[in-house]
Structure 1
């Protein structure tokens, strides 16, 4: 599923986790767990549901659920409106879970960075790595 405009760039991050897909799915879809590793939110795993992600930095991302395949794939828009339209971001984030012998491989893909959005692109590359570190911490303590 690629809803990005032409000539856009994407960030792809993969990580192997020692837990089954259902455990990762809970962390990707339950608001209190999403808050623990990503941001405050009013998420619901329902296609068409509009929600916000609220960062500690004061920013708000406007999102809409696009795809829900339990324990397999989750996708939503990830839009940020800036006072300077050159910094507006219209993107789509897709989480893909693949069972492995040792647990689950999680792929996160964020598509839709315009070529001139070097700062946002670099921020997403570093940000997703940090978010997945936090997700690992949350999963380590979650039953």
Structure 2
């Protein structure tokens, strides 16, 4: 039996250099400002967790492992929560006006429409928060 999965893709151009956005993606205190509390380290193989306020049917923890680290270019990690395993990939491409930020989260099963819609809403909000955080960096 073949399992069909979907990938969520969000792209946003930000008027900042890739190095600034990279900081927001890889420095724990900055990640906490736009996403969640964490014990992230930009080291391939590092297991870490994102932690948020628990909600009904969710303990507030997302278990992850760093898969790819290419400074100021690409970051990838697993995203495991509520029995769902997916992969998040961030890609940064310099543009004439700043950086094209691309976020892909893959692994949504055909029966996980609510999770896909929730992730779409959540990532748009988080990326907006990230842009605000990056804008405040020196």
How many residues are treated as equivalent by the alignment? 133
Equivalent of 1:90 in 73, 85, 89: 85
Residue 11 of structure 1 contacts residue 109 of structure 1 at CA under 8 Å; is this kept in 2?
yes
Matches within 5 A, 1:1-143: 6-57=3-54, 58-80=59-81, 82=82, 88-143=83-138
Task: Give the match's secondary structure for 1:130.
Answer: helix
The equivalent residue for 1:85 is: none
For residue 98 of structure 1, report the CA deviation from its aligned partner.
0.2
CA distance in 2, matches of 1:48, 1:121: 26
In the TM superposition, residue 6 of structure 1 has moved relative to its aligned partner by 4.5
Q: Which runs of 5+ in 1 are unaligned?
A: 83-87
> What is the CA distance between 1:113 and its match in structure 2?
0.6
RMSD, aligned α-carbons: 1.2
Residue ranges of structure 2 left out of the alignment (5+ in a row):
none
Cα distance in 1 for residues equivalent to 2:137 and 2:84 = 32
Secondary structure of the structure 2 residue equivalent to 1:19: coil
Q: Secondary structure at the match of 2:78?
A: strand
Return structure 1 stretches of 4+ with deviation > 4 angstroms. Answer: none
Shift in Å, 1:56: 2.8
Q: Is the 8 A contact 1:39 1:56 kept in 2?
A: no
Residues 55-98 of structure 1: CA distance to partner in whole angstroms, max 9, x if unpaired?
Answer: 23451000000000000000000001x3xxxxx21000000000
